[in-house]
Homo-oligomer: A and B are copies of this chain.
């Protein structure tokens, strides 16, 4: 059984999710989401985010982000995001293609936007030569493992609404963020005024599947049509819904996220103790960014694989998952320090 520190999407499905898939595989169920599993999952999401929340399921995170953005903007809009945003650098231009919009990516060093960065772009006079800002998209936890505080999210939401924009949160690792900040989905997302959340499943123990949660249900009216036109309507949707119900039941989502966060902290402390290694971002969730001399890095990758991040400065990203164990980390540290 291979293990790695490459990414939380190298892991498989967690046991609760796998069991849910087995259980859901019984007889026939209406296709395209008209099944009882999907009804149940919709209700589970309302329990987590509040009664007004509307949830839709898609296959993967790129789709969760892009179909959301396309269904809540027009092509003449721009999408304000961090220069490090997954939608900006890791989706091969899916946003430009499917939404037809400009991505207005703002430079930063920690993956986070601030109201000060955003303000000049949304407060400018508008005329038809330029794309019109339509939505702000932030990532929580960010692509650099950092976190927005609840207050920081609220400040951006307030700014967005002041200028009639929407706030979208790419929550591919939202569970890790909520756990790390000792917050709740409701407090961090619903109560701060976030309009739409891409709720990550795959990186927190699902086999496949992501959820789009509309906190303002009136924004969701076109999602179904864009989901179909966006090639993301699952025929046997029960197999996404059932996974999500399993993830949300008994706080499995919290357990998985907390564990992977703890493993990152545990591993990070051990790595920090190695003199040649320099931790380069605060370890807040389940990723460790570190600057490592090349020879040592190669030895470490041999022991258990992980990816380079910014090669020019020997920076690497080391990730834990719901199934990373202390023993595995101990073995890894032992190997590389031998």
A contact residues vs B (CB 8 Å cutoff): 1-4, 6-7, 9-13, 18, 21-22, 24-32, 59-63, 66-67, 74-78, 89-94, 96-98, 100-103, 107, 128-132, 202, 207-208, 222, 224-236, 238-239, 321, 323
Contacts A60-B232, A93-B229 supplied; 15 other A-B pairs, CB < 8 Å: A7-B235, A10-B31, A13-B25, A25-B207, A60-B234, A75-B97, A77-B93, A89-B129, A92-B129, A92-B228, A93-B101, A94-B228, A97-B101, A97-B230, A128-B233
CB pair A208–B229 under 8 Å, yes or no, is no
Which residues of the other chain, B, contact A131 by a CB distance below 8 angstroms?
92-93
What's the Cα separation between A92 and B59 when bound, in Å? 18
Which residue in B60, B75, B226 is a CB contact (below 8 Å) of A229? B75
What's the Cα separation between A10 and B232 when bound, in Å? 17
CB pair A231–B98 under 8 Å, yes or no, is yes
CB pair B239–A207 under 8 Å, yes or no, is yes
Minimum Cβ distance to chain B for residue A69 (Å)? 11
Minimum Cβ distance to chain B for residue A177 (Å)? 19
Find the B residue at minimum CB distance from A78.
Answer: B93
Minimum Cβ distance to chain B for residue A11 (Å)? 6
Which residues of the other chain, B, contact A22 by a CB distance below 8 angstroms?
18, 22
Known A9-B235, A234-B59; contact A100-B91, beta-carbon cutoff 8 A: no
The 8 A-B residue pairs whose C-beta atoms are closest, nearest first, are: A1-B27, A76-B225, A9-B235, A97-B100, A92-B228, A10-B28, A63-B231, A93-B102
